């Protein structure tokens, strides 16, 4: 029995709507995780740069653990074990929400924030130490100096690698299908199960992921050409 490639079937109704719904979930979970991972990564980076030893040790353990364990394992960890590691009030709130979506956000956030923390820390190291010392000499606390003087400059330096981390997060979001989040990859799998046209379904999904990646890459190149060139002058 010969196999006939039929993209019209996959792109027709109702499967086209399934793909759009999956894309919406992918963009939503990616956007939420990007915001939280940037916030958490910044906090972890500040902890690592502080002189408070427990905070330094915690930030080191955090980055090493989450950077060196597979994301898929972490997704299953938060999905099956959140009740054991999170406060009861948090678990009750999560179960009132879309629990699979929330577990995916937590996993993507903590995993990506570990990498973002290191990017931010490298950006801070690119700032002369004299600026921090001068800020402290002017009466600013450590947190004030970091917030008003050091971090704004560090973020401008590390925007390209940060965007790369965000791109990785978007691609990594495809793994949340394993816990039942109905993202783009999940919907492609559902289309394959209903039509037995897996090649077409996953080709369309691949094309969408590629389009998102190219848009992000174009943004990075545009930033490098315009913003960094202006800064250098």
Task: Give residue limits of the domains in the chain.
Answer: 23-183
Name residue, tokens 């090493």.
64
The reported pTM is 0.90
pLDDT for the residue 231? 55
pLDDT band at 232 (very low <50, low <70, confident <90, very high): low
Identify which of 68, 19, 64, 25 has the alpha carbon closest to the alpha carbon of residue 44.
Answer: 64
- Percent of the chain residues past pLDDT 90, beyond the cut: 57
Average pLDDT score over residue span 97-124:
93
pLDDT for the residue 96? 75
Average pLDDT score over residue span 115-141:
89
Query: Please, what is the Cα angle at 176 between 174 and 178, to 5 degrees?
Result: 105
Lowest mean pLDDT: which of 44-48, 62-66, 79-83, 121-125? 79-83
Looking at the domain 23-183, which fold is it? Answer: MetI-like fold (1.10.3720)
Residue 223 confidence (pLDDT) above 80 = no
User: Average model confidence (pLDDT) for the chain?
Assistant: 89
Classify the C-alpha dihedral 201-204-209-210 as positive or negative. positive
pLDDT band at 81 (very low <50, low <70, confident <90, very high): confident
pLDDT for the residue 137? 85
Residue, of 58 and 96, whose pLDDT is higher? 58
């Amino acid at each position: 029995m010969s196999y006939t490639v039929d993209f019209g079937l996959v792109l027709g109704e109702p499967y086209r709507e399934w793909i759009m719904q999956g894309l919406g979930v992918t963009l939503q979970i990616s956007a939420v995780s990007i915001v939280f991972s940037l916030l958490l990564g910044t906090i972890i980076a500040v902890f690592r740069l502080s002189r408070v030893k427990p905070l330094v040790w915690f930030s080191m353990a955090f980055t090493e653990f989450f950077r060196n364990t597979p994301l898929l394992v972490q997704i299953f960890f938060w999905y099956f074990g959140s009740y054991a590691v999170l406060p009861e009030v948090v678990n009750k709130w999560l179960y009132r929400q879309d629990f699979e979506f929330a577990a995916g956000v937590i996993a993507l956030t903590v995993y990506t924030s570990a990498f973002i923390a290191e990017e931010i820390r490298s950006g801070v190291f690119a700032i002369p130490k004299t600026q921090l010392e001068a800020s402290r000499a002017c009466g600013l606390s450590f947190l004030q100096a970091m917030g008003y003087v050091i971090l704004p400059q560090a973020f401008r330096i590390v925007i390209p690698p940060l965007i790369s981390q965000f791109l990785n997060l978007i691609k990594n979001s495809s793994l949340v299908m394993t816990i039942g989040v109905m993202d783009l990859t999940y919907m492609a799998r559902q289309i394959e199960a209903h039509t037995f046209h897996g090649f077409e379904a996953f080709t369309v999904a691949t094309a969408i992921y590629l389009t998102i990646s190219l848009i992000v890459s174009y943004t990075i190149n545009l930033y490098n050409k315009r913003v960094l060139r202006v800064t250098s002058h």
